[in-house]
Structure 1
Amino acid sequence: MIDNPLFYVLAVLAVMIAGISKGGFGGGLGTLAVPLMALVIAPQQAAAIMLPILCVMDLMAVWAYRRTWDRRNMWIMLPGALAGIAAGGLTFAYLDADMVRVLVGTLAVGFFAFEVARRWIFDPDRPPARPAALRGGFWSAVAGFTSFIAHAGGPPVNIYLLPQRMPKTLYQGTTVIFYFIINYVKLIPYALLGQLSFGNLTTSAVLLPIAPLAMLSGIWLHKRVSDRMFYVICYGLLLVTGLKLLYDGIAGLAAG
């Protein structure tokens, strides 16, 4: 098991944010979990520790949103996501820790920039986009790949779904079912790659009791509280964490 106290401080925060996000409060900010943990450990190990926790959260989320999801978008998104997972599994061994830090940091900063542009630059009065097989397949494949290596499928999924301006609960239910399927599919290649080691699973088990509390908090907040302040805090943290990972990754690659 990991014995660094700072890791557990960051890991508890990461699991709380991921659970609250999966519960329906804060959009796709579960993307923040691996970058936070990767400040202390290798991103690959952080992803391996988070996967069993995410799978448990998914069971709770599916029950909460089982009646509210978009079937047309699901049929469009799943084939691309499965292809992306396969690509992630085939290339995982060739990505060292610094390369993954740069990739995850880029995703974090890119997601921040996309959200800023979406909220304050794009025309808010243009009509909602419609589901589209080509666009949805592409972004879902990217989501499958980034989800495999760092559970960072949120940015590409949001790039596809958010312009459709679904009702909040329909959007949340669609993403819940999507991540439920791909996270359980990822267990197979993660196990084959040796990522689900005894040490990683033991660390996951230590953090797991936080998951139900975080999920229930997200479900409660989704129904009752505006998520504006949560977005502001988490996007700020996401930007700082992404920049730190980019710095560390680029420095490590330059030194190597």
Structure 2
Amino acid sequence: MPAFSNIDSPQLFWILAFISAFFIGFSKSGISGAGILAIPLMACIFPPKESTGILLPMLIMGDIIGVYFYRQHTQWKHILRALPWAFVGIIAGWLFMKYSDISQADFKKYIGVVVIVMLIVGEWFNRTSDEKTRHIPHSWYFAAIIGVTGGITTMTANAAGPVFAIYLLSLGLPKENFIGTTAWIFFILNTSKVLFSWELGFITEETLVFNAGMIPALIIGSLVGVKTVKYIKNNTFSILVKIFAILAAGYLIFK
């Protein structure tokens, strides 16, 4: 058990850690957004700084597994449209964390509000009968807004899942394409954040040792996620993703 844990009981520590890793794996290869269930558990067993550093490598491992299982379903045109803007957002988020006087907790509340607004806008895109409005999610400027917002959110809170979920749901992607595209987006973004997180002191040798021990739980969660998705219809999948996005936004706002 790591020395920086908040919990004295080794048994409880490993149970909560295993459950957290399971949900991360499940969200990466199954129901996107389910990883939000791991965030409060991680906050219980680790201080905020260590929790952030531990979470990122676990997310990357989950991304790798998701990329493997859904590698034939990736929609690269949507990734390439948003990705350059996401890198702009990551740099902006890093600069904010390094130099801003606004607390990270307050900033997460703003992010939560933005996610709620984007969910409402995304739902409007899906329900409107106006062809010009329905075309907006396919535009470069919508991808730019999503990319910058997602980049800032992923750098500051590891919580860009709802942002990119809104993007891909607005495009009307089937569940397999949604998961395959999401896996690649976050694999690229999360790996690009490693050096920034190391420089900020979030990732250390000790946190990486703990991450290695969580690989079995991540794999189990991913396998369960793959099996679960096969039995879920596209409409049900979209509803579940939206529910988890709302939960994520609520957690950021009211934490």
Three-state SS of the structure 2 residue aligned to 1:38 is: helix
Alignment correspondent of 1:102: 106
Match of 2:29 in 1: 23
Shift of 1:101: 2.4
Q: Does 2:127 correspond to 1:124?
A: yes
Question: Does the 8 A contact of 1:35 with 1:104 survive in 2?
Answer: no
Q: 1:61 deviation in Å?
A: 0.9
Residue among 60, 74, 84 paired with 1:55: 60
Letter in 2 for 1:124: R
Deviations 1:181-207 (A, max 9, x none): 111111122222222113322332343
Tell me, yes or no, if structure 1 residue 90 matches structure 2 residue 130.
no
Match of 1:165, SS state, is coil
Quote the offset at 1:179 in angstroms: 0.6
Deviation at 1:39, TM superposition (A): 5.3
What residue in structure 2 maps to residue 211 of structure 1?
A: 218
Q: 1:41 to 1:29 in 2, by over 3 A?
A: same
Q: 1:12, 1:207 within 8 Å by CA — same for their partners in 2?
A: yes
Change (3 A) 1:101 1:85: same
Counterpart in 1 of 2:76? 71
Displacement after TM superposition at 1:43 (Å): 3.6
C-alpha contact 2:54 2:211 (8 A) present in aligned 1 = yes
2:161/2:245 contact within 8 Å kept = no
1:236 deviation in Å?
7.7
Answer yes or no: is the 8 Å Cα contact 2:162–2:245 preserved in 1: no
Q: Structure 2 length normalisation: TM-score? A: 0.78
**Aligned partner letter, 1:24:** G
Identity %: 27
Contiguous gaps of at least 5 residues in structure 2:
none
Between 33-42 and 173-182, report the one with greater CA deviation.
33-42
Aligned length: 242
Query: In structure 2, what residue type is equivalent to 1:66?
Result: R
User: C-alpha deviations, 1:77-112, integer Å up to 9, x for none?
Assistant: 11011111122222222468x922233345456546
